[in-house]
Structure 1
Amino acid sequence: MTELLQPATHWQGAIPKQAFAVVMDGPRVLLREHAEGLLADRLPRYDELFWHIESSVPWHYMGNFSGPWGAEPAMAWSLSIAPDGFIWVDVRSLLALLTPVGFDLLGRCMQVLEWSETHQFCGRCGGPMQAHARGERARVCAPCGSSVYPRINPCVIAIISRGDELLLAQATRFTNGMYSALAGFMEAGESAEQTLIREVREEVGVEIANIRYHASQSWPFSSSLMLGFFADYVSGEIVCQEDEIADAQFFHYEQLPVVPPKGSIARALIDQFIAERKHA
């Protein structure tokens, strides 16, 4: 039996002792210190943390997480506790170690908890926000009735090709020499294709065409929805946007620099391009 996450928002009754306790502190998750393998083997269960979690601390039902262990609900808390036998692990470091389903669960928890913590008060009148009466994933202002749902930031990411070469860039924030696909957030009124054309022009100064959608990925770091594309190089010399891009080059698919880890959509796009060129 493979891992499966059935997302849900409304839980009635007490939290079961064997429920998965997804405890997060910003981008970190609490895991068993010496456990490896599936996420289910590494997450604490609720009965292990019961005495460390005050009843007043809000929690969020994320859905049923099932696999070889059976099916149990997954609850998320935002806390800074670290009982004996557990350690804090950066979620990003788990990208290549977990299954897509396991990473999806952590990503959902991370985004929901951040949204909940940053919407304690109404942005319209300043009144206190409370949970939705019907269990929807929303916060409602009692004084003015305004409601807020989790916000997703759409972002485009693309491999720009020129024959057997692909354009990769090293962002100024990268500290390990990694090169990745060009990416950027959508602005109000833009289509995904318009965003991609603008971002590529701004970041490296080249023109593109023949834009093809490939796949998408939820990305919990800044609550993004990554929309992956391929596009063809048309014209222009590479001129890097100094405040964002340290270097950008066309690389032959057999001579690539350090690239993003498996599990990321950037790596999926790169791997797909390589596979297509090898069979061209």
Structure 2
Amino acid sequence: MHYWFIFHNGNLLIEEQENGSYNIPFSPTTPITEKYINSKIVIKKTFCSNDIYALDISFPENIGTTYKWLGLRASHKGLSKENYNLAGKCFELLHWHTNNHYCSRCGTKLIWNSNISKICLHCKNEVWPQLAIAIIVLIYKKDEVLLVHAKNFRENLYGLVAGFVETGESLEEAVIREIKEETGLEVTNIQYQSSQPWPYPSNLMAGFTAEYKSGDITLQESELTAGAWFKYNELPLIPDNASLARKLIDKWLKQF
């Protein structure tokens, strides 16, 4: 028996249960016709007691009433934490596999070397998935928190300041720079909190808190459309609990 993590255009094939929860297809053979498979990765008992197959398919064939397609991020509401994390890992590996067929040094076709790496047999170059590291930071001022609306957010949703770490930059330096660039503020008491894989398609989020020090909010208009201080008991619509942003906000709220 195998777990089948099957994707089409970023959607995951799931089996919905009567209680509203989701399962990953679990069967001896794939529930999808073989001819529609673009990419296939076999993960040998790395994360659980059963083999895991990650598939990317070209056509969402008629799957009947047993299964349905659901966006990867939306699947967190019904999948177990373990299966949601596995789905993210499979999605990241499929994305990496699709974009890394040939050696960047000599052009020779790469072959699998382990569950998460490839190798060039000609020049012995080993290739591993590359993560894009980003910071996300909750900025507080006494009983208020700074929340911002990014251009790619849906209407009325507010979140935290975030951005990618640049080459040659520490995580803490990235926190200071991103806050200054996006809001014009100075901060102090920067504290690391936790991290989260973010497979959209291959990011790792590092979460921080920082205390307001000085400055007036001056938004980076190319990134943000709104931003303001919100009292702890007067928050707008914030990200759902699948995100590190929500975890940081919820943890900060516990003191009140």
Question: Which residue does the alignment assign to 2:40?
Answer: 58
- Mapped pair 1:167 → 2:146: yes
Q: What TM-score do you get using the length of structure 1 for normalisation?
A: 0.83
For residues 110 and 172 of structure 2, the distance between their equivalents in structure 1, rounded to whole angstroms, comes to: 37
**Higher mean C-alpha deviation, range 241-250 or range 75-84:** 75-84
For residues 90 and 130 of structure 1, the distance between their equivalents in structure 2, rounded to whole angstroms, comes to: 30
Question: Which residue does the alignment assign to 1:109?
Answer: 90
**Match of 1:89, SS?**
strand
For residues 204 and 262 of structure 1, the distance between their equivalents in structure 2, rounded to whole angstroms, comes to: 25
Question: Which residue does the alignment assign to 1:74?
Answer: 52
Question: Which residue does the alignment assign to 2:100?
Answer: 119
In the TM superposition, residue 64 of structure 1 has moved relative to its aligned partner by 5.7
- Give me the identity figure in percent: 31
**Match of 1:139, SS?**
strand
2:91/2:201 contact within 8 Å kept:
no
In the TM superposition, residue 153 of structure 1 has moved relative to its aligned partner by 1.4
In the TM superposition, residue 88 of structure 1 has moved relative to its aligned partner by 1.7
1:158/1:183 contact within 8 Å kept:
yes
1:96/1:261 contact within 8 Å kept:
no
Number of equivalenced pairs: 252
Counterparts of 1:1-280 in structure 2, within 5 Å, are 18-32=1-15, 37-39=20-22, 42-47=23-28, 49=30, 52-54=33-35, 58-61=40-43, 63=45, 71-80=49-58, 81-82=60-61, 83-85=63-65, 86-132=67-113, 135-276=114-255, 278=256
Change over 3 Å in CA distance of 1:28–1:35 after alignment to 2: farther
**Match of 2:50, SS?**
strand
**Higher mean C-alpha deviation, range 103-112 or range 54-63:** 54-63
For residues 232 and 35 of structure 1, the distance between their equivalents in structure 2, rounded to whole angstroms, comes to: 46
1:21/1:77 contact within 8 Å kept:
yes
2:95/2:201 contact within 8 Å kept:
no
Counterpart residue type for residue 93 of structure 2: V
For residues 218 and 257 of structure 1, the distance between their equivalents in structure 2, rounded to whole angstroms, comes to: 25
Change over 3 Å in CA distance of 1:257–1:51 after alignment to 2: closer
